[in-house]
Amino acid sequence: MKKTIITITIIIASLGLIGYILNKNKAENKAKTDIVAEKNAAVAVKTATVKTENVSLDFSANGIFSPIQELTFSAEKSGKVIKVFVDEGDYVTVGQTLLTMRADVINVNANTANAVYQNAKADYDRYENAYKTGGVTKQQLDQAKLNLTNAKASLTQANINVGDTKVKAPIKGYINKRYIEPGSILTGMPASEMFDIVDVSKLKLNVTVTENQVASLKIGQSVTIVSTVYPDKTFSGKITFIAPKADATLNFPVEIEVTNNANNSLKAGMYGTSKFGSNQKQNLKIVPRTAFLESVNSNQLFVVENGVAKLRKVVAGRILGDQVEIIDGLSDGESVIITGQINLQDGNAVEVIK
């Protein structure tokens, strides 16, 4: 009996030891799992350190090229197109004939108007001579003069109509779009579109700058222009317009006239970058431009505090190439997140990738 009790006691003790070991292993495994889960929940990011540096005040701004002049050329008169002399892509000069319209009826009207004018002129000459001898009254002479004036106006308009049968280019440039073919019927009301003409010998680059940047700009100032399409080429430009009032984003629109090269390499609709030089340096607190959410205008970025991403509202100043001046909201030595923000929310754990 005593032996049985000892055996049972040993079995119970063994079971207890086994249970203790299993619970300990379970707790250790849970702790490891929690660590792994916490690590996997952290968003991988890269950071940059906020610092004050002596930086150049040169800055750049991006925009889209537009033509110096463009026109959708529409018909002024009604008629049938007989011949078209230009195709899309052709370069035309001011006054160059683009098409001819049917002129049969117009020519007949012009001949009729000329006959009426010649008859009115003969009547006036006869009445004028007769008036000198008392053969007609002053009222009859005045009526003959009025008839002559009206006939001359009609002849002038008829001759204009004859000229309108040859449609000529009002501006120089390239035929970007042709809307008509021989046989097309044109109407003056509503006006039929005939051609889109675009002049790209010069272009306009429209950009926006901040209030700090606009203070250093002036009309006529030279600007260097580059395009991502032609990284090995530079183009010259000059400022032709500075908005006296900020837009809805509190930036100031600036227009730059850009001289194209001999091959007209730049096309309207391409992206361009204007580089404004100042030849000045200043101690500024800066962060990479990529730190900002969406755009610099948002004035929002993430900083890392004890392994956690914190959304921070800052006051951004000048955009200086790839760097942005920080006027308020950050201190030297803080870490700002420059990649990975798209996956972040305020308070998310982060893992900084070196």
Amino acid at position 109, single letter = N
Q: Tell me, what amino acid is at 231?
A: P
pLDDT band at 272; cut points 50, 70, 90: very high
What Rg, from alpha-carbon coordinates, does the chain have?
41
Structure tokens at 140: 């009859």
The per-residue pLDDT of the chain, averaged, comes to: 85
Q: Which residue has the higher pLDDT, 162 or 323?
A: 323
Note the pLDDT of residue 220.
94
Most confidently predicted of 55-59, 99-103, 250-254 = 250-254
Average pLDDT over residues 345-354: 91
What are 97-115's pLDDT values in tens digits? 999 887 655 666 778 888 8
% of residues, the chain, pLDDT over 70: 85
Q: Which two tokens stand for residue 194?
A: 């005939």
For residues 234 and 21, the model is more confident at 234
User: 103-164 belongs to which CATH class?
Assistant: mainly alpha
221 vs 8, residue with greater confidence: 221
Show me where the domains of the chain are located. Answer: 44-55+282-352, 60-67+198-276, 103-164
Percent of the chain with pLDDT strictly greater than 90: 45
Q: What is the mean pLDDT of residues 168-172?
A: 92
User: Residue 218 has which token pair?
Assistant: 């002036």
Considering only the top CATH level, what class is 44-55+282-352?
mainly beta
Provide the pLDDT for residue 37: 43
Residues with Cβ within 8 Å of 327's Cβ and at least 6 positions away in sequence, in order, are: 285, 314, 315, 316, 317
Q: What's the pLDDT score for residue 115?
A: 87
Q: Write out pLDDT tens, residues 60-94.
A: 889 999 999 999 988 877 788 999 999 999 999 99
CATH assignment of 60-67+198-276? 2.40.30.170
Cβ contacts of 75 within 8 Å, gap of 6 or more: 167, 186, 187, 188, 191, 192, 193, 194
Query: Distance (Å, rounded) from C-alpha 351 to C-alpha 354?
Result: 9
pTM for the predicted model, two decimal places: 0.56
Average pLDDT over residues 2-7: 59
Tell me what pLDDT residue 11 has. 63
Question: What confidence score (pLDDT) does residue 28 get?
Answer: 62
pLDDT at 280 over 80: no
Short-list 239, 274, 268, 267, CA closest to 255: 239
**Does residue 210 or residue 110 have the better pLDDT?**
210
